[in-house]
Amino acid sequence: MARVAVVTGGSRGIGEAISLALQEMGYTVAANYAGNDERAGEFSGRTGIKTYKWDVGDFDACQLGCAKVAEDLGPIDIVVNNAGITRDGTLARMDYQAWDDVIRTNLGGCFNMAKATFPGMIERGWGRIVNIGSINGQAGQYGQVNYAAAKSGIHGFTKALAQEGAKKGVTVNAIAPGYIDTDMVAAVPAPVLEKIVAKIPVGRLGQASEIARGVAFLCSEEGGFVTGSTLSINGGQHMY
């Protein structure tokens, strides 16, 4: 039986590329999404990948959603925590709701999904969790104290959980993308985007497929000796 993978935010952008890459590896993929029913339906019809709607920031919804995936497809062996939102603004302009929404979804979603799936992986002796961080969680970014805090938290969460799973055949890693050519980045004003690209040594935005290939390796059998790591895929924009 094919291993079952859940990709949160898996029906568009980087998540869509990850879902497709894991499907190509022979995994049975479930793509979680939060709200765009039309987009999810189009994605499912085009790819054959089942979609499941729930809010990753809601602990109980993650429990129920993962139980439904397991009932439909089998035990969940792989989780890619890709779902994320932005509510940008300087600290002076940011209200508590904007802070809480981002922490709840971007960081809380990783905890919620791990609580729903990690025990089963440990019991079965095999599992892969890949958390999608960000270059802005490594280097910081003006106007993103909430987003940078959440993504930085993901990197620490990854290292700690990796230590719990290492002897049980469960790896936990993170990928920190740089600026990728997605709808989110396309919404950035052109003059701002030009300045961003000018700071990327390879001279271009990344492609979602390039992030997906990194995820695919970490989710493979061959990736079993890699755990607690953060793979930076950013065109050289942030080196350390």
What strand order describes the sheet that includes 170-177? 50-53, 28-33, 4-7, 76-81, 127-132, 170-177, 230-233
Alpha helices in 1-103 (DSSP H): 13-24, 37-47, 59-73, 96-102
Q: Which residues pair with 80 in a beta bridge?
A: 7, 130
18 with 47: CB under 8 angstroms? Answer: no
Neighbours of 167 (CB within 10 A): 9
52 catalytic residue (yes or no) = no
Q: d(Cα 18, Cα 86) in Å, to the nearest integer? A: 20
The one catalytic residue in 33, 147, 179, 240 is 147
127 with 121: CB under 8 angstroms? Answer: yes
- Active-site positions read 147
